[in-house]
Every structure is written in structure tokens, then in C-alpha cells.
């Protein structure tokens, strides 16, 4: 029985990263709290600022992907802090030799939040802003930059300093999140929903009264989100390779394109 448990533990360890990685910095012996707490404070401040300067009824605040992404940063940061604090107090390998639920939750949030933040930035400045129909969506230019640029900067910091891996196989996680938002826009449209100015859409480029045009935008957006996940995996792999080289040890290595940790 003991031998069977040891074999099971070895198998699980070969397919999951060491739990302590989630509460470490990839380069130096500093606590992730040094960047995760400021990111949480920043995200909560921008969220409050966004509510105060929202251009429509507050009941419509979460119609927009931007605000979904900002809330994701808040939740991801909270779980990142929990994981870090737990690591400093105990070895959080659970009874099945797998990752505890709060570590798994953080990892999923991390996998979703970072590529979604990059998508929001590029989608907003590259598509929505160039459409010439977004002036009324940005009553405060500083807040506009924080929402659609600061989000990516914050998540880039998280990506560059964290020590745990990003895996290619997790590409379905950000795509499922995007699908959830897409289904929300469809249901909202067919339920007779409208934006704060009475238009039968949330974003002018995602207008379900023009299904062919919208289908093209949605498809290209999904492909770009998938590309952003690949970029995250590549950056994480490069980050860990550089970290391992400079430390000249058998330290942390991100095999994002395989199953080994």
C-alpha cells in the first residue's frame, strides 16, 4: 500500500509543478507580495475610479469586457496573495500529493487574466479606437489609458516575476472565458438589451444584427487570444530559461510545451 502511494505521488509530481513555485519570484529571493499587493491595490483603485466615471447606469457596468478583465485582475491578485501567504506558513501539498484548490484556482485565473488583459489592450487601441466610434466611452483620458494599457502592464509584471509555469495545453482556459463573454453578448442581444445610448449592441464592432461582420470580428479575436496565450507561454519559458542560466543551478524551468514541470 505504501509503495502504491509513493508511485501515485511520483506520477502526480511529474505532471504538476512544485506547489511552492506559485509563491516564489523567478529571479531573486523576494516575496511575490512585493508586486501582487500593489497590483491588487491598483486594480481596486481603477475599478472604483471606473465606477465613479462610468458613462451609463451602474447596472450596465459589467456589460463591457474591459470591466470583466479588471475584475479578473482583482480576483487573480487576491488568490496570488493567498497562495504566497500560505506558502510562507506551511507546505501546501495536499493529501493527494496534488495542488490545493486555491493554488489550482489561482493558476486558472493567471492563465486567463494575462492573455485577456493583452487582448483587451490590443482590441481596444487597434480595433475599437480606430473605428472612430469610441469617443464617448472614454470620458477621462487618464482612466482610459489605465483601463486599456495599465492592465497589460500589471499583468506583464506578474508574468515576468512569477516562477510557476504557463502551459500550452491550458489554451482552452482563456478561450472558454472568451466564449462565456461571447454567449453573454448573444443572450443580451436577443433579450432586447442595449447599451447606455440605446443601441442594440454592447460594442459597435460586435453587433449581432450584422451576424456576418460580427462573426469575422469574433473569429479574429479568438485567434488573437489564442496567439496571446502562446506569447505568454513563450515569455514564461524564456523567463525561466534566463533565470536558470543566471543562477547556474537546476532551478526553475518552465516546460510550457510539454507535461513535465
pLDDT in tens, 92-127: 555 445 788 999 999 999 999 999 999 999 988 887
In a domain, 66, yes or no: yes
In a domain, 4, yes or no: no
In a domain, 52, yes or no: yes
3-state secondary structure the chain: CHHHHHHHHHHHHHHCCCHHHHHCECCCCCCCHHHHHHHHHHHHHHHHHHHHCCCCCHHHHHHCHHHHHHHHHHHHHHHHHHHHHHHHHCCCCCCCCCCCHHHHHHHHHHHHHHHHHHHHHHHHHHHHHHHCCCHHHCCCHHHHHHHHHHHHHHHHHHHHHECCCCCHHHHHHHHHHHHHHHHHHHHHHHCCCCCCCCCCCCECCECCCCHHHHHHHHHHHHHHHHHHHHHHHHHHHHHHHHHHHHHCCCCCCCCCCCCCC
Number of domain units in the chain: 1
Q: Which domain holds residue 61?
A: 20-247
Structure confidence at residue 151 (pLDDT): 97
Higher pLDDT, 1 or 225: 225
Structure confidence at residue 90 (pLDDT): 53
11 pLDDT band, cuts 50/70/90, is very low
Higher pLDDT, 23 or 41: 41
Q: What is the mean pLDDT of residues 166-192?
A: 96
In a domain, 2, yes or no: no
As a whole number of angstroms, the distance between CA 131 and CA 143 comes to 20
Contact indicator for 116, 72 with CB cutoff of 8 Å: yes
In a domain, 164, yes or no: yes
Beta carbons within 8 Å of 138's beta carbon, 6+ residues apart: 144
In a domain, 194, yes or no: yes
The overall average pLDDT reported for the chain is: 84
In a domain, 75, yes or no: yes
Amino acid at each position: 500500500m505504501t509503495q502504491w502511494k509513493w508511485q501515485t505521488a511520483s506520477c502526480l509530481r511529474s505532471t504538476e509543478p512544485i506547489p511552492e513555485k506559485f509563491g516564489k519570484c523567478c529571479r531573486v529571493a523576494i516575496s511575490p507580495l512585493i508586486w501582487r499587493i500593489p497590483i491588487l491595490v491598483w486594480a481596486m483603485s481603477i475599478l472604483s475610479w471606473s465606477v465613479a466615471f462610468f458613462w451609463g447606469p451602474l447596472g450596465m457596468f459589467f456589460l463591457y469586457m474591459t470591466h470583466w478583465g479588471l475584475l479578473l485582475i482583482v480576483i487573480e491578485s487576491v488568490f496570488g496573495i493567498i497562495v504566497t501567504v500560505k506558502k510562507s506558513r506551511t507546505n501546501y501539498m495536499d493529501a493527494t500529493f496534488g495542488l490545493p484548490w486555491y493554488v489550482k484556482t489561482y493558476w486558472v485565473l493567471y492563465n486567463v487574466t494575462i492573455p485577456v488583459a493583452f487582448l483587451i489592450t490590443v482590441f481596444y487601441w487597434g480595433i475599437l479606437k480606430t473605428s472612430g466610434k469610441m469617443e464617448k466611452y472614454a470620458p477621462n483620458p487618464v482612466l482610459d489609458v489605465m483601463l486599456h494599457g495599465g492592465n497589460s502592464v500589471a499583468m506583464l509584471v506578474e508574468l515576468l516575476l512569477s516562477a510557476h509555469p504557463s502551459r500550452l495545453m491550458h489554451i482552452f482556459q482563456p478561450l472558454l472565458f472568451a466564449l462565456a463573454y461571447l454567449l453573454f453578448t448573444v443572450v443580451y442581444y436577443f433579450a432586447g438589451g442595449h447599451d447606455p445610448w440605446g443601441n442594440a449592441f454592447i460594442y459597435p464592432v460586435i453587433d449581432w444584427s450584422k451576424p456576418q461582420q460580427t462573426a469575422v470580428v469574433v473569429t479574429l479575436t479568438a485567434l488573437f487570444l489564442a496567439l496571446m496565450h502562446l506569447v505568454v507561454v513563450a515569455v514564461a519559458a524564456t523567463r525561466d530559461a534566463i533565470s536558470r542560466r543566471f543562477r547556474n543551478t537546476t532551478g526553475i524551468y518552465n516546460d510550457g510545451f510539454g507535461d513535465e514541470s
